[in-house]
Homo-oligomer: A and B are copies of this chain.
Amino acid sequence: MIVPLQAKSVIPISKSDSTPLSRQIYTGLRTAILNGVYRAGERLPSTRTLADQLSVSRTIVVIAFEQLLAEGFVKGQGGSGTFVSEHLGEVRTMHKRKPARLRLSRFGQSAMEVSDNVHYPPLPQQRLRYDFAYSRSNTDAFPFETWRRILIRKLREAPVRELDYGASAGSSSLRVAIVDHLRRSRGVACDASQVIIVNGSQQALDLTTRVLLNPGDRVVIENPHYQGTREIFAVAGATIYPVGVDSDGLMTSALPKRARLAVVTPSHQFPTGAILPLSRRLALLDWAKRADAVIVEDDYDGEFRYEGQPVEPLQSLDTEERVVYVGTFSRTVFPSLRLGYLIAPKSLVSAFVAAKWLCDRHSATLEQETLAEFIRSGAYERHLRRARRMLAERRAELLSCLKENLGNTMEISGENAGLHLVIWPKARVSEKGVITKAAAHDVRIYGVSQYFKGKALRPGFLLGYARLTRREIREGIKRLGEIECFKDTRQ
């Protein structure tokens, strides 16, 4: 059946569009074919007719036809014209169908549930003047000029091999720099071959689920805990076993008889800030032996400790090679760098490297080389010393302001390390209520209850101090002291 063009809808073209006209015509005809405007076996209008109707040169239409021919949408039949291919018969009906409902995997389904609770991209929040945000590094202390200089040098120097695929475990220069730094700063004793560079500590946790966890395996987590930790293990199919936390951190006496993994934050428990004492560290390692468990030590802000030297990590107390040590540069350099590392027991190194290879080959090379030089040159340790000094001042200011303004209306935990502390009001309050009242005073504080699995033991508030000046801290806490539950009645 031959239908003249006039009977069909005109192809929409726009001469001001940046898409070439031939492409617009091609797309229009293709859509018309797929929509069944032209059916299988049907003849298309001639190039001349079409060119006339669209007021374009015939060459342009010919190019569009050639593309349709090349792709098999149409075929030419000698002098008799151009016809829609026969095998397109079923396409038309297909084209009008609605999107298919696709089944998700169990992981995918769980991930969707998580995604309801998780802010991605971060929800735009009203900006408050005194924001005690806690998962933030103090970018004002970071030597950006030094960082830029090194990055630009690395960029200029980069030989072709640094543009090609790199080693899955990471750049050897960075792995060596990390080992040297950790030995000096944290007493972690390991070989560069045990270091695997990852895209932040979240990937270290994810790789751990891949390498060690079968669905249904029991995973001990601290309660409260960082929700990102629980989420990745839960979504990967773990049976989560929460163990309570007191002022000394994880209550090792409450550990279960058996577990596959325990994920802990001994240097500064998240969120309470408790520092796990040696006796519990040893008890935990001893438990791991009896339970045949692997311990994941998330040392997320272990570089910042204000009294005494840093506590020895589990990794260096471990004599059975049961500890996977996880570190990140998100709090010491900046988060968008997306670099962290894990130190695997020797027996797990190959499996972790293979998992990294399978997941994404390796982390970006330029960032790795820049960070390696930043550490090797001493700039990283100078920065840490400076950041520690600044943080110590801010922490001192915060503690003194809390004492002065909130007095004995609350207790404090977690002040001896990290970038935040927690205040626990003595009065019975609603977390939400206090947060709302604080916001009315232009102050943002963060509730701890979101970090509990199950009901929180008591209301509490995280106060980060890395991004506020001493003056801002002073004013923020003064305002906080005006909220009913924090009014010091002794005075």
Interface residues of A in 376-400 (CB under 8 A from B): none
- The verdict on A206 contacting chain B, using a C-beta distance below 8 Å, is yes
Which of A208-216, A403-411, A432-440 touches B?
A208-216
**A120→B352 CA distance, assembly (Å):** 12
Interchain CB contact (< 8 A) of A338 among B122, B151, B183, B362: B362
Find the B residue at minimum CB distance from A198: B360
Across chains A and B, which 10 residue pairs bring their CB atoms closest together, nearest first? A121-B167, A115-B354, A72-B278, A336-B365, A99-B321, A111-B354, A163-B334, A203-B360, A108-B211, A199-B360
Q: Are A286 and B94 in contact (CB under 8 A)?
A: yes
Residues of B within 8 A of A209 (CB): 105
Please count how many residues in chain A sit with their CB below 8 Å of the partner chain's CB atoms: 122
Q: Are B289 and A71 in contact (CB under 8 A)?
A: no
Find the B residue at minimum CB distance from A294: B102
Which of A54-62, A84-92, A482-490 touches B?
A84-92
**A259→B362 CA distance, assembly (Å):** 30
Residues of B within 8 A of A351 (CB): 104, 108-109, 111-112, 115
Q: Using a CB–CB distance below 8 Å, which chain A residues touch chain B?
A: 18-19, 23, 26-27, 30, 34, 66-67, 70-73, 85, 87-88, 90-91, 94-109, 111-112, 114-115, 118, 120-122, 136, 139, 148, 151-152, 155-156, 160, 162-169, 183-184, 187, 198-200, 202-203, 206, 209-214, 217, 228, 231-232, 235, 277-279, 282, 285-286, 289, 292, 294, 308-309, 311-312, 317, 319-322, 330, 334-338, 345-348, 350-351, 353-355, 357-367
**A212→B351 CA distance, assembly (Å):** 23
Q: How far is the CB of A307 from chain B (nearest CB, A)?
A: 8
Q: Are B163 and A72 in contact (CB under 8 A)?
A: no
Residues of B within 8 A of A96 (CB): 319
Residues of B within 8 A of A231 (CB): 358
Interchain CB contact (< 8 A) of A115 among B27, B345, B350: B350
Residues of B within 8 A of A120 (CB): 167-169, 353-354, 357
20 other A-B residue contacts (CB within 8 Å) besides A106-B214, A121-B168: A23-B309, A71-B312, A72-B279, A99-B321, A100-B289, A100-B292, A100-B322, A103-B292, A105-B213, A107-B355, A108-B210, A112-B354, A115-B351, A115-B353, A120-B167, A164-B335, A199-B199, A199-B360, A203-B360, A206-B359
Q: How many copies of this protein are present in the complex? A: 2
Q: How far is the CB of A408 from chain B (nearest CB, A)?
A: 27
Residues of B within 8 A of A203 (CB): 359-360
**A36→B312 CA distance, assembly (Å):** 18
**A311→B202 CA distance, assembly (Å):** 39
Q: Are B184 and A18 in contact (CB under 8 A)?
A: yes
Q: Are B114 and A354 in contact (CB under 8 A)?
A: yes
Q: Are B27 and A350 in contact (CB under 8 A)?
A: no
Q: Are B361 and A202 in contact (CB under 8 A)?
A: yes
What are 9 A-B contacts with C-beta separation under 8 Å?
A90-B282, A99-B321, A100-B321, A109-B351, A139-B163, A148-B152, A164-B336, A206-B359, A336-B364
Q: How far is the CB of A280 from chain B (nearest CB, A)?
A: 9
**A354→B113 CA distance, assembly (Å):** 9
Q: Are B99 and A277 in contact (CB under 8 A)?
A: no
Q: How far is the CB of A166 from chain B (nearest CB, A)?
A: 6
Residues of B within 8 A of A102 (CB): 212, 294, 321-322, 345, 347-348
Q: Are A336 and B279 in contact (CB under 8 A)?
A: no
Q: Are A111 and B210 in contact (CB under 8 A)?
A: yes
